[in-house]
Structure 1
Amino acid sequence: MSTPRDAVIVDVLRTPVGKGKKGGALHHVHPVALLADVLTALVERNGIDPALVDDVIGGCVTKSGEQAVNPTRSAVLAAGFPLTVPGTTVDRQCGSSQQAVSFAAHAIRAGAADVVIACGVESMSRVPMHSDAQGADHLGERIARRFPGGLVGQGISAELICARWQLGRDELDAYSAASHQRAVAAAETFTKDLVMVTEAPELTVDETIRASTTVEGLAGLRPSFRSDAAAERFPEIGWKITPG
């Protein structure tokens, strides 16, 4: 039995993160173009022939509209890679690109590939979250029978975790504010991993980092997932049902 080979990450690149709405700096850029810019920059910076790439594995959560079918393969073609370079798209929801990295490492360790690009793309300003599930029963009757009350999203799930482990609002606001401040400091230090977007060269930093975030400012925000329906279904969260 052969010994698995080591899988090594050679380089890391990404575009700056834009706000996920129509006013974001990247709202006019097709998601395929976003990923293509990263792929092009990656092979150019490392001086490798893209024909040597055995596979390109990309993560994408919402594969509908402009991200439908196989956006990773489309980006490979848009980046000018040879037609012989394959590309596939995987979906493990918010862990999709992380899964792409795991699959790439698996292929190398198994000896099935030598060079793999693991990547991902998501344009929430052009392809809104859950747009692939609109107007369709994507769970089916068997899920409904197993979970009669239905499934919940991450927002309510987070509230349930907080209730179970007694994580208070003040504690979490402080953590969030500190997270933004750490992100500001990191953005000033780690700049070599950023790729300029061809169609948005003015964006040089992440739009989603808010340097002005404070604990006091966060305390004034209403909870995002509070609703009468959620309060009635999950009384352990401790919400007060209020009008309006």
Structure 2
Amino acid sequence: IARIAWLSMGLPLEVAATTVDSQCGSSQQATSLGAAMVASGMEDVVMCCGVEMMTRVPLGSNMKDGVPMGESYMQHYQPTSQFMGAAMIAEEYQITRADVDAFGLKSQQNAIRAWEENRFEREIVPIEAPVLDDKGQPTGETRVIARDEGLRATTLESLAKLEPVPGQSIHTAGTSSQVSDGASVVI
């Protein structure tokens, strides 16, 4: 992604561009590596980017038949979903459903307040995106997206009423990340 984006902007062919695939942590990892390169004197200026394409990740109804990680991966690691991993962490550190709901509520409140105070105004670039039909296919229309669409006004009471993710008791749709796409860049 990095190399194609760099060259697509008409920037110099001689400048290196590297893609880091750390899933949700790609932006953070790219920024850490870029900062280390500047601190070490290897580079004077770096551009660090991250892209998240959750709509392309095999989740729920988007799952395809087959083994997503391959046989050799499965020989070394147990297939553990993010929900299973989160439940194991919650058990180890004695985090309760009430703790998760309270954290989720505070996170939503902080994000809503930040948007209301325009804290992200200089960091968000509005983009034109295709409008999709019920089957996820482009309709030929477009719309401008300029704000996080995952924010929800919520209460502890409404979070407490949500059913947990199947197979566990702590995480719900109200305290889980939404499925969304995004990208970031820092120089």
- What's the offset of the Cα at 1:141? 4.3
Aligned-partner Cα distance in 2 for 1:181–1:138: 36
Cα drift, residue 172 of structure 1: 1.4
Rounded to whole Å, the distance in 2 between the matches of 1:198 and 1:81 is 23
Q: 1:88 to 1:173 in 2, by over 3 A?
A: same
What does residue 138 of structure 2 align with? Answer: none
For residue 94 of structure 1, the aligned residue among 24, 27, 38 is 24
CA contact (8 A) 2:2 2:19 kept: yes
* Larger proportion of strand: 2
Which TM-score applies when normalising by structure 2?
Answer: 0.69
- 2:97 is aligned to 169
Q: 1:129 to 1:74 in 2, by over 3 A?
A: farther
Q: Distance in 1 between matches of 2:115 and 2:73?
A: 46
Per the alignment, residue 135 of structure 1 pairs with: 66
Match of 1:205 in 2: 147
In structure 2, the CA distance between the partners of 1:129 and 1:86, relative to structure 1 (3 Å rule), is farther
Question: Rg bigger for which structure?
Answer: 1
Deviations along 1:174-233, one digit per CA (max 9) or x if unpaired, are 2111110100111123111111214466322111111x1211111121112x23xxx7xx
Q: What is the letter of the counterpart of residue 154 of structure 1?
A: Q
Could you state the TM-score of these two structures normalised by the residue count of structure 1?
Answer: 0.54
Secondary structure of 1:207's match? coil
Shift in Å at residue 155 of structure 1? 0.7
Whether the 8 Å contact between 2:26 and 2:51 is mirrored in structure 1 is: no
Query: Structure 1's 142 and 96: CA in aligned 2 closer, same or farther, altered over 3 A?
Result: closer
Report the AA paired with residue 145 of structure 2: L
For structure 2, list consecutive stretches of 5 or more residues without a partner in the other structure.
130-141, 171-187
Report whether the alignment pairs 1:83 with 2:13: yes
**Match status 1:193 vs 2:123:** yes
Q: Deviations over 1:32-81 (max 9, x none)?
A: xxxxxxxxxxxxxxxxxxxxxxxxxxxxxxxxxxxxxxx12222233333
What stretches of structure 1 of length at least 5 have no aligned partner? 1-70, 232-236, 239-244
- In structure 2, the CA distance between the partners of 1:75 and 1:198, relative to structure 1 (3 Å rule), is farther
Q: How many correspondences in the alignment?
A: 154
Q: Match for 2:4: what amino acid? A: S
Percentage of identical aligned residues: 35
Please say if residues 24 and 52 of structure 2, whose CA atoms lie closer than 8 Å, have aligned partners that are also in contact. no
Asked if residue 159 in structure 1 is aligned to residue 87 in structure 2, the reply is yes
CA distance in 1, matches of 2:68, 2:82: 19
CA distance in 2, matches of 1:142, 1:176: 33
Select 2:4's aligned residue among 51, 74, 94.
Answer: 74
Match of 2:51 in 1: 121
Structure 1, residues 66-125: CA drift from partner, whole Å, max 9, x if none? xxxxx1222223333333333221112322211101111121122221110001112222
What is the one-letter code of the residue matched to 1:218? L
Match for residue 137 of structure 2? none
Secondary structure at 2:47 match in 1:
strand
Among 40, 44, 50, the residue aligned to 1:110? 40
Q: Which residue of 1 aligns with 2:159?
A: 218
CA change 1:79–1:213 in 2 (3 A) is farther
**1:116, 1:104 → 2: CA distance?**
6
Q: 1:182 aligns with which of 110, 129, 138?
A: 110
